[in-house]
Structure formats: structure tokens, C-alpha cells
Amino acid sequence: MTAVERPAAPEAESAGTAPAPAKGRWAGLPLSVRWTALALGGVLLLSIVREVTGAGPLTGVSTFRSALQLSIPIALAGLGGLWAERAGVVNIGLEGMMILGTWFGAWGGIQFGPWQGVLLGMAGGALGGLLHAVATVSFGVDHIVSGVAINLLGDGLTRFLTNAAYEGSDKASPSVPRVVPSFDVPVVSSGAESLAGQGRFFLSDLARIVQGLTSDVSLLVVLGLALFPLTFWVLWRTPLGLRLRAVGEDPVAAESLGVRVYSMKYLAVTMSGALAGLGGVTLVYVFGKQFQVNQTNGRGFIGLAAMIFGNWRPGGLALGAGLFGFTDSLQSQTDETAHALLLFVAVVFALLAVRALVKGRRRAAGLIAAAAAGVFAWYQLSDEVPTEFIPFFPHVATLLVLVFATQRLRPPAADGRVYRRGGSG
């Protein structure tokens, strides 16, 4: 038998085509099943903490209605950041674009009507995105410097416009006469309301949460939620999205294949500003019913953190925005509820420590366990959380999420790089 005819050794075959490591039972489940299981587990843990502490608002209707409403502006800002960074442009200017959205949304709502205000608010944010694109894409300005400039410009310009448009006021506009309508989800909301009053452990808690998420829902909230699957479809299921993501990974290679890199970046950053502007409009229409100075209160930056927490993916971003929206909603609750949340956080940290230990990450497990012990000691040694601390819950949550999420992050490879047409990378 010649060397050509000799069959390959079994060892060689197995070495060349090594099988992929087997997935665990949990990882082998469909993603929808895993997300549902995690959500139900979170509700169960909230129910236990509510039962132990007696803090009923922890699973209250108003808490989760506020959490949903507060999550949407953060989520839309983060979604805007996702569009920009998938094309390789860091967008620190989301806060300024949201501010532009709040002013133009309120002005448009006063002058023309609610939906015209929504469009003008998105246009105001898109204008900020376009300026950011001109600076970073065409002139090669550092992305961080340009973003900071957009934030300063948005704040200063809206103060000037407020003073010019509304005599005698440089901090707020008149109330918007009409806003986008709200509605209750048929059947679901009423069914949840009937179960919520029965006092059943876990089931009534779950029903109250569902009622809070499905009653008095603004159409802007529905629009914001719909933009997440739409973004996933556009960016991961269409040729346009493939070209846009290729620009964020390797613009030189994309250009060599005929992709118009500058056009993709301009499109992504302008869309980023429009989405952030829509988040600003949501703040106006759902909450204050008017433009106010400092209305965004750092939500553009929190949206950026939610995007990083979500690993530059829409699903993870939605989860991060929900977390920040929930902590933000506690500002309108009693001190007792905020204090009960400490116990919830301690238990979550303890579970994360066990998970890290099982995976062999002993150092991480020790750090998380120490955090769990510290939060639990705070809960045990105090009767309430200082009122001054509660407004900073979203920002503290942002820091904690970034600390514990850094080990699995994978940003687009060319994110933040200044690109020049015809360059070598």
C-alpha cells in the first residue's frame, strides 16, 4: 500500500477535528427558557425578601410601573450607543443628545402636537449625532473629546433656547398640553389585577409585577420596546447591518470589499442621536410633561453603562436598562423599601459568589462574598437607608455592574479608532 493510499490514523483524525466541548444542561437550554427561568427566579427572591421584611412596595404595582417607565429612556440612550459603537464610533455625547431631545420634544409638543413633538425630539437628537459624526468621522477628532463637547453644547444650547422661546424662564418650558396616550393591555392587566389582590405568596407578587408592566402603558414605551427586536433584526439579519458591523470590526477590510465606510458611520451615529433624542422625549412626555434643565440627570451615561453591561447586544442592554430603571424607581418609594433592597442585594451577591466558586474563580468568589457580607451587615445594623443616598442607587448599580461584567466584555474591535479613507488601520 502506498503512502497516498494509507488510511489516516484515528489519532490524527481526532486531533484535526476535535469535538467542541459539551454544553452543560443550563447552557443547552433555549435562550428564551433561560431568560424566563431567571426572571421567575428574581421574582421568587423578591417575594421572599418582601415576606421577610414586610416591605410590600418591593413588588408593588407602582414600583414596577415606574421601573418600566424609567427604564425606557435609559434603554433608548443605550440603544443609540449600540448603533454608534457597532460602527466603531464611541458616543460619550448621548447625554447631550438626550438633552436636545427633551427640549425639541417639548417645544414641538407645545407648538404642533404630541407626535410632531416626538419627531422633532428625535430630529434634535439626530442633529447632535450628526455633529458628532462630522467631528469624529470627517475631521478625525478624538471621540471622547467630541462627545464631551456635544454634552456641553446640548446643555448650553437648550438653556439659551429656553430663555429665547419662553420669556422670563431659562430653566423650564410651559407644560405640554397633550402627550402621547397611554392604555392598559387588554385581558392581561385586568387578569393580573384580580390575582394580585388574593394575597398568595409568589403568585400575587408576580401578578402585581405583571399589572405594573401592563397598565397605564404609554405608546412611547411600546415604541421603545419595539425598537429592540427591530434593531437586532436590522444589525444582525440584514446586509445593511452586516456592513455596519463590519465597519466597527475592521474598516480597512470593509473598505476593500466595497463598503462605504464613512456613509455607514454617518448613518449609525445619526441614528444613535435620534434614539437618544427619543429617550429624551420619553422623559418629557411620561414624567414632567415639560422641559426642565437637568431633566436627563445623567441617564445618557447610565445608558452607555447599560450598553457595556449588555456586551454591545440588544438583549443584554435591555436587561441592564431594566436593572437601572428599577433602582431609579426606588427614589419614589419609602425608606423601608430601599432598606429591604439591601437584603435582596446581599442574597444576589451571595448567589453570584457561589456561582463563581463553582466555576473555579476563587478570587472573584471571595471578593463577591465580601461584598455580600458587607451589604448584609449594613442591612442588619441599620433601620433605614439615608435619604441622601437613595438618589445615587442607579449610579452605584452602574459601578457594580461594570465591575462584575468586565471579564466577559467584547467591544467591536475598531471601536474608538480614528479611521482615514485609504488608510492601513
- In the chain, pLDDT over 90 holds for what percent of residues? 56
pLDDT reported for residue 279: 96
Residue 78 pLDDT level (bands cut at 50, 70, 90): very high
Quick count: other Cβ atoms within 10 Å of Cβ 381?
A: 7
Instruction: Collapse the DSSP code of 24 into the 3-class scheme (helix H, G, I; strand E, B; otherwise coil) and give the result.
Output: coil
| Range of weakest confidence among 75-89, 130-144, 406-420 | 406-420
Grid cell in block for residue 10: 484515528
Model pLDDT for residues 360-389, shown as the tens digit of each residue = 888 878 888 998 899 899 999 988 877 767
How far is it between the farthest Cα atoms of the chain? 99
Model pLDDT for residues 318-361, shown as the tens digit of each residue = 988 988 888 878 776 666 788 888 898 889 889 888 988 888 88
pLDDT top residue among 337 and 269: 269
- In the chain, pLDDT over 70 holds for what percent of residues? 88
Q: Does pLDDT of 206 surpass 80?
A: yes
Kindly list the domain boundaries of the chain, sorted by start residue.
55-183+218-331, 334-408
Grid cell in block for residue 199: 394575597
Q: What is the 3-state secondary structure (H, E, C) of 149-203?
A: HHHHHHHHHHHHHHHHHCCCCCCECCCCCCCCCEECCCCHHHHHHHHHCCCCCCH
Residue 99 contacts residue 311 (beta carbons within 8 Å): no
Q: How far is CA 375 from the centre of its chain?
A: 25
pLDDT reported for residue 404: 63
Q: Does pLDDT of 239 surpass 60?
A: yes
pLDDT reported for residue 24: 66
Q: Does pLDDT of 11 surpass 50?
A: no
Residue 197 pLDDT level (bands cut at 50, 70, 90): confident
Please calculate the CA angle 401-403-404 and round it to the nearest 5 degrees.
70
Positive or negative torsion for Cα 110, 115, 118, 122: negative
Q: Does pLDDT of 401 surpass 70?
A: no
Q: Does pLDDT of 14 surpass 60?
A: no
Mean residue pLDDT of the chain comes to 87
Q: Does pLDDT of 220 surpass 50?
A: yes
**Rounded Cα gap, residues 425 and 418, in angstroms:** 9
**Rounded Cα gap, residues 253 and 148, in angstroms:** 30
pLDDT reported for residue 205: 92
pLDDT reported for residue 319: 86
Q: Does pLDDT of 394 surpass 60?
A: yes
pLDDT reported for residue 33: 85
Fold of 55-183+218-331: ABC transporter involved in vitamin B12 uptake, BtuC (1.10.3470)
pLDDT reported for residue 423: 62
CA-based nearest residue to 395, from 332, 280, 316, 306: 306
22: left (phi over 0), alpha (psi -120 to 50) or beta: beta
pLDDT reported for residue 376: 93
* Helix H or strand E segment including 364: helix 362-381
Residue 10 pLDDT level (bands cut at 50, 70, 90): very low
pLDDT reported for residue 314: 93
Model pLDDT for residues 139-190, shown as the tens digit of each residue = 999 999 999 999 999 999 999 999 888 876 778 889 999 989 999 999 899 8
pLDDT reported for residue 367: 85
pLDDT reported for residue 114: 94
pLDDT reported for residue 409: 77
Q: Does pLDDT of 391 surpass 80?
A: no
Q: Does pLDDT of 73 surpass 80?
A: yes
